[in-house]
Structure formats: C-alpha cells, structure tokens
Amino acid sequence: MDEFELIDQIFQRPEGSASQVAIGIGDDGAVINVTAGKQAVVVMDTLVADVHFLESQPADSIGHRALAVNLSDIAAMGAVPRWATLSLTLSEVNEDWLNGFAHGFFELAGRHEVALIGGDTTAGPLAVCVTVGGEVEAEGVLRRAGAQPGDFVYLSGRIGGAAAALSSNEGYADPVLHRALCWPQPRTELGSALGRVANSAVDISDGLLADLNHILNASGGLGAEIEADSLPLFESAVALLGPQAALELALGGGDDYELCFTAPQSRHQEILETGHRLGQDLFRIGQITEHGGCRVRGTAIDLDAISPGYQHTWPSSIS
Amino acid sequence: MDEFELIDQIFQRPEGSASQVAIGIGDDGAVINVTAGKQAVVVMDTLVADVHFLESQPADSIGHRALAVNLSDIAAMGAVPRWATLSLTLSEVNEDWLNGFAHGFFELAGRHEVALIGGDTTAGPLAVCVTVGGEVEAEGVLRRAGAQPGDFVYLSGRIGGAAAALSSNEGYADPVLHRALCWPQPRTELGSALGRVANSAVDISDGLLADLNHILNASGGLGAEIEADSLPLFESAVALLGPQAALELALGGGDDYELCFTAPQSRHQEILETGHRLGQDLFRIGQITEHGGCRVRGTAIDLDAISPGYQHTWPSSIS
C-alpha cells in the first residue's frame, strides 16, 4: 500500500456536518468558508513517540490524544474548533494500527464537529503533527493576558492524574488515572462559553504552576495564592501515592488538559451557572494578587523543588 | 536553553507587514483577521531528515525548503499565502543550526509576506512540519479538476533539476542543479494570477507524470499528449546525464515545485502575458485529450519504466 492509497482508504471520510469545507482532502490544499465577522484561531502541536506518548499505548488513544491536545488549545482561546490537518510520520504501515489511530481521531473529531481537511503521510520515526483551526468573535477571545488582582482562579477539572499514571506501573494500571493520561477531554464547550465571562485562560499542559505563571506573566507580573486544600486531586492518586506526592504532581506534573482561568469575583455566580449549564465541574482554587509569583497556601511543599513544567520525558519502563 | 527560551529567542520576530495577525506567537493559539468575501486555504507538509532533505544540507536551505513546499501548494490552489505555523522536532539544540534554519525560513516568509504565527518545538528525530494558510476569492480557486480536452498544458519552469542533483555527487555539486534541489522557488505570484485564467493546476512534487495524472484523474479521466521536445530541461542535467536520462528525471523525478496547469487554447495569449508581466518563464508542453492517460510524444522512453512519483528515498551517500 503506498501513501496515497493509505490516505484514501483510512483518512478520507464523508465530511458530515462540516458545511464550511468547500474543498477537503485530495487537492493541493483545502478550501474553507469563513464566517463573516469572526476571527480565525490556529493552533499546532506535535506528538513524538516515547516523548509525548508511549509507542505501546493503544493506537486509538494516540489518535485521540493528538487531536485532543490541539482542541484544548482552541478551548483555551475561547474559540470553536472547525477543521484539522494531520501529518502522520510512520516507521511502518500497519493497517490495524492505522485503523485504531483513525478511530480515536475521528471519534473525537466527530463529537466536536471538526472536519479533517488535509495533511500528509510520511515515512520516518513515528510522530503525529496536528493543526486545528477554529473561529471566535473578537470580543470572545481568551488570552493569557487579562487577569486582575482580586480575580478568582478556577480549574475545569481534576489535575495530576496523567502524571500519577506515569509515575508507576500501578498508576498506569489504575483505570481512572489511565483515562486521565490517555484520553484527555478537551474543554471546548466551556472555553467558548467562557469567552465573555473569564478574563484570562490557559490549558494545563505543562503543569498548573508553570501554566498559571504564563497567565501571571502575560498579565503584567501579577501573583496568585492557590489554596492547597481546594485543589481537585484524583482520589486514586492520593490513595496510591499519598496526599503530598499527589499534590506535587497536580502542581507540577502537566498533561492534564484542563482549563485554568480567571474571572472577576463579581462574575463568580455566572461562572458557576456556566459550569452547571454545561454539566462541567468547576473548581475555585485561589485568587490573583498584585505581586509575589505563584504561592500555594496550606502546604509544606517546597515549590522550588517542583518541576517547572513538562520535561518531555515519558518513562520507557511503563508497559 | 529550554524550548520556551529557544522559541522566544529565535522564532519570535516582529510581525512586520502582517497586519492580519491579531495575536501571534506566545499564547495558546494565534488569532487572525480574515478578509471579508474570501475563502481560507490550508496546506500542510512534513519534512523528515534523510527522507525529504539531507541532514548534512545547509540549515538555511532546510528552513527555506520546509516553507517553500507549502507555499507551492498554496500557489497551486491559486491563493495568496498569509500565515504559517512551524513544528520543529530536534534531536539536539544547536543554536547555529537553529539560526541558519530560521534565516532560511524567515527570508522566504518575508519575501512572500507570510507571518509565522505559532507552532511548537519538540525533542525527537529531526523533522519539520509546516502548515500554511492563505486566502482566495471563490472564483479564483485552482483545483486539480477542471481541465478540458483541447486545453494546452503549461509548466512554470524547468524540471528534473532536483532529481538530477540527487542522482550523483557530480549532480549535487553542480550549482544550478543544487539550487533547484535545495532552494525551490514557490510560484505564488503566478498561482494567484492564474486563478481566473487557468482551469486546473497542480504543483510538481511527485514528478510531472504523476502530478499531471492527478489533474487527468480529477478532471474525469482525461488524457494528455506531452511533447518531449518541448519539456524544459536543465542544461546541466542534459550535459551531465545525457538527454535520455535527463528527460526521464524530468518526467518522473519530482521535487521540482513548479506549477503544471491547463488553460483553454483561447486563453493562450493571456497566459503568455501573465508570465511576461510577472517575469516568469512559462512553457507550453502539450495538450489535454479525451482519453488515453498521459503519453509522451517524440521519445523512445518506456513510460512504464518511469517511477510513478516520489519514492521517499534520498540517497544517503551524497555529501
């Protein structure tokens, strides 16, 4: 099977509800109708085998993850995803693996009404690069900049689960932690709903402290006080690793793909209602301050000892 | 140097004339203003070391090439390029290499007024993935479909040079052939000018016969008669390899990144004037027929023996 047949057979699917696609896969490029009055949002993320996923991981979870991490960035911008391009670098053409990968990719794409419009397939060490485009009204864009002293800080879900799954074979075998690692759920509905309520947002890929610091720096060098007791941890992580280690992984682990966002205290009720309307758990975890970087209250952890973000190393020993 | 500092230092540049960029590098995604009444065009291409370029090649030519092959696809759609995202997978952080790569990338981007709006940097085997977005009016889109029997077939420049450079150390050392291989020039001005004159187009990445076949198939199973004597070959390739081998590489070699397009005979004068106005050589190489696949007249070559497109193997022996 050559690369063209492979693309045809596995990745060329009916465009479904994607009425914005004028020309999809099969020409030199894709053509997309744009919505009058909206801005385009573009994100791109590459996943390399044994750096961003385990080559031994089920193929469908790799396809899911490659799209999910990009949809998470779209959500963090307050946009609605519309299209994706996929570049797949394969060391071998394994049809079962490809079908699994495609299943995971398209299942998530379908749920978010994202059309695969193009890309390419290449021989080389296994890696996946995805670009996603979305749309947003200018007033609904969520930047990292925009937080103000006094704002509440929120999380869209529990954190530290992916890192806990990577911390040991027991963690990887735990179904809840495994799901957090391999099947992250991008918060696109929440992101676009927050566009006019929240005043800054980031998605947690590098770890809460590192990503919240992006907000603090982009917003002009603010600080934040996080309440350790308010941090939503995974019960399995606490049971497996103890509360202290679970907390450290929540603060520094990364790969969570939850949204961290800020909003004025006056919008708190609106934030809660938005979460309730979408069936989305939201956790208030602290408050923005004028200075002082990111501090965690109610814990004896040495913050300096926590990894400042994602280190690009997945353990090769996990199976 | 970690990946964030690296991105900051080398890839975050003033946006220059790119007035369409509302938010560039540094947030979770980029935000772009879209032009009312235009459609968006998106293309994506990945280059893997020693598959699509030689790791020993000058870094600036790799940066150039990674963007050029994408701009060539944009040209083949009749669009004007606007923005690019870049994903760089690096086996090591070599600042000289990165500066060289960035120089080649930004020099070409600047000439085409393309803004780098995002992407990522990843640890792994050397590879480059680029997505480019452009704009086009619906009436100006160039598809592969649209050729008609009787149309003339054109090329935007000489072909077979890249393949001749890869055929031997002497070819690689020849300055003209080396330039054809390492510094392909995307025909974006021509592509967007042809939008309302030509009726089909493709860019030559896989080889003239393979890519012209894409037009013939997309246009409903037409044929084409190519005049071997009209094919614009590189003099150095003919001198080095002989006319027969140079012709074979022109037909089947690929990596040319010239446009192959068709237009009704009635538009021939207009096509010539377009080329003249842009200072762009254009070559009429044959004619579309009703049936019969792609035939080459005036040559004794066995077409079946010619590689049907790009085989994804660059010789590792060239230095």
Q: What is the reported pTM?
A: 0.92
Q: Are residues A41 and A97 in the same domain?
A: yes
Does B315 score more than 60 pLDDT? no
Q: Are residues B153 and B294 in the same domain?
A: yes
Phi, psi for residue B116 in degrees, rounded to 5: -80, 115
- A positions 12-31 inside 8 Å of B (CB): 22-23, 26-31
Identify whether A310 is part of a domain. Answer: no
Q: Are residues B71 and B191 in the same domain?
A: no
State residue B311's pLDDT score.
Answer: 46
Q: Are residues A201 and A241 in the same domain?
A: yes
Q: Are residues B256 and B220 in the same domain?
A: yes
Q: Is A202 helix (H, G, I), strand (E, B) or coil?
A: strand
Q: pLDDT band for position B92 (50/70/90)?
A: confident
Q: Are residues A254 and A179 in the same domain?
A: yes
User: A319: closest CA among A177, A127, A169, A171?
Assistant: A169
Q: Are residues B168 and B254 in the same domain?
A: yes
List of residues 6+ apart from B302 with CB closer than 8 A = none
State residue B319's pLDDT score.
Answer: 47
Identify whether B315 is part of a domain. Answer: no
Last residue of a domain, one of A90, A112, A139: A139
Identify whether B314 is part of a domain. Answer: no
Asked whether the beta carbons of residue A34 and residue B31 sit closer than 8 angstroms, the reply is no
Pair of tokens at residue A209? 């402290």
Asked whether the beta carbons of residue B31 and residue A40 sit closer than 8 angstroms, the reply is yes
Chain A partners within 8 Å of B33 (Cβ): 39-40
In which residue are the tokens 């060539």 written? B72
Q: Are residues A73 and A152 in the same domain?
A: no
Q: Which domain, by its residues, includes A62? A: 3-139
Percent of the residues in chain A that have a pLDDT greater than 70, as a whole number: 90
Chain B partners within 8 Å of A76 (Cβ): 28-29
Does A4 score more than 60 pLDDT? no
CA distance B47 to B128: 5
State residue A13's pLDDT score.
Answer: 76
Asked whether the beta carbons of residue A131 and residue B44 sit closer than 8 angstroms, the reply is yes
Does B289 score more than 60 pLDDT? yes
What does DSSP say about strands B21-23 and B30-32: parallel, antiparallel, or unpaired? antiparallel
Q: Are residues A167 and A259 in the same domain?
A: yes
Q: Are residues A18 and A114 in the same domain?
A: yes
- Report yes or no: A258 and A232 within 8 Å, Cβ to Cβ: no
Buried b vs exposed e over B132-166: b needs ≥16 C-beta within 10 Å? bbbbbbeebbbbbbbbbeebbbbbbbbbbbbbbbb
Chain B partners within 8 Å of A133 (Cβ): 40, 42, 133
Last residue of a domain, one of B83, B118, B139: B139
State residue A250's pLDDT score.
Answer: 95
Does A18 score more than 70 pLDDT? no
- Terminal Cα distance for chain A, rounded: 30
Last residue of a domain, one of B120, B139, B158: B139
A257-301 tens-digit pLDDT: 999 999 999 999 999 999 999 999 999 999 999 998 899 988 666
Q: Are residues B164 and B278 in the same domain?
A: yes
Q: Are residues B289 and B161 in the same domain?
A: yes
**Between residues B272 and A8, which one has the greater pLDDT?**
B272
State residue B298's pLDDT score.
Answer: 80
Identify whether A319 is part of a domain. Answer: no
Please tell me the number of Cα atoms within 13 Å of B38 on its side-chain side: 18
Q: pLDDT band for position A112 (50/70/90)?
A: very high
Pair of tokens at residue A3? 């690369």
What does DSSP say about strands A259-263 and A152-155: parallel, antiparallel, or unpaired? antiparallel
Identify whether A255 is part of a domain. Answer: yes
Mean per-residue pLDDT over chain A, rounded? 90
A64-95 tens-digit pLDDT: 999 999 999 999 999 999 999 999 999 888 88
Domain count, chain A: 2
CATH of the domain at A228: 3.90.650.10
Identify whether A318 is part of a domain. Answer: no
B93-122 tens-digit pLDDT: 888 999 999 999 999 999 999 999 999 888
Identify whether B134 is part of a domain. Answer: yes
Pair of tokens at residue B224? 């084409």
Angle (CA) A176-A179-A181 rounded to 5° is: 115
Question: Which residue in chain B has the smallest CA separation from A25?
Answer: B43
Identify whether A283 is part of a domain. Answer: yes
Please tell me the number of Cα atoms within 13 Å of A34 on its side-chain side: 28
